[in-house]
Amino acid sequence: MKIYLIRHGRQCSKLCNVNVDLAEEGYRQAALLGERLVKANPQVVYSSDLLRAVQTAEAANLYWNVEHLIRPELREISFGDMEGMADEDIEIKYADFKLRQDRMEEDLPYPGGECGADVVKRILPVLYEITQSGYDRAAVVTHGGVIRSLTSYLIGLDLAKMRMLGNGLENCSITELEYHPGKKRFNLQRFNDYAHLENYPELLRSSWVEKEN
């Protein structure tokens, strides 16, 4: 079975993990994603219940016309007390935490929020629901922290080092997993594939934000 993990499109706010609509660029990204995956022929699309993920799934699904299932467990990692804050304010108020996080020695929870292991714990039941769905190909629209945490876990990478995977996951990028039922094992086929966006530099994260929390 193939599972396409997709980061949602660009949202209309730079504040940390606020539940807002897609920006115009986000809809463009989602359309390019939908067109890109037509040949892959997803049979179902899952998404988190956050607006940016739901709207990305809906826009891409205009090209697939498949069932759309919403699972709150697919939400972004909780940034806790940082949520709703601007990056520059986070860098000042949580400077000590950011230094510890950058050392990648511990799977640190965000202050008042989650760590990677927390995300994996709530995501795994949905992942196995998908593998037992009877479908051969599923698209899953979720979030950067989820994709990093889950991928790290599945390939055996220490969750403390999950931020080594992708220096800024692109919005509407594709991370492809292949599940082998007999072996009960996942293989990582590709990570942060955004070839469908490369001809549109204004749609890349470098045109919008400098770093991720």
What percent of the chain has a predicted confidence (pLDDT) above 90?
94
CB 142 within 8 A of CB 6: yes
pLDDT of residue 115: 98
pTM score? 0.96
Q: Answer yes or no: is pLDDT of 211 > 80.
A: no
Residues 6+ apart with CB under 8 A from 44: 66, 67, 68, 69, 133, 135, 138, 139
Report the sign of the C-alpha dihedral through residues 165, 119, 10, 93, in that order: negative
Closest CA to 190 of 40, 51, 81: 40
Q: What domain range is 128 assigned to?
A: 2-207
Confidence of residue 182 (pLDDT cuts 50, 70, 90): confident
Q: What's the total number of domains in the chain?
A: 1
Query: 102: pLDDT confidence band, cut at 50, 70 and 90?
Result: very high
pLDDT tens digits, one per residue of 29-81: 999 999 999 999 999 999 999 999 999 999 999 999 999 999 999 999 999 99
User: E strands along 53-184, which residues?
Assistant: 67-70, 137-142, 174-180
Predicted confidence (pLDDT) per residue in 193-208, tens digit: 999 999 999 999 999 8
212 within a domain of the structure (yes/no): no
Residues 6+ apart with CB under 8 A from 96: none
Domain presence at residue 29: yes
- The CATH number covering residue 67 comes to 3.40.50.1240
Q: What is the tens place of the pLDDT at every residue in 112-154?
A: 999 999 999 999 999 999 999 999 999 999 999 999 999 999 9
Residue 213 forms part of a structural domain: no
The pLDDT, as a whole number, for residue 170 is: 97
DSSP 50: S
pLDDT at 183 over 90: no
Q: What's residue 155's pLDDT? A: 95
Note the pLDDT of residue 212. 77
Q: What is the pLDDT of residue 184?
A: 85
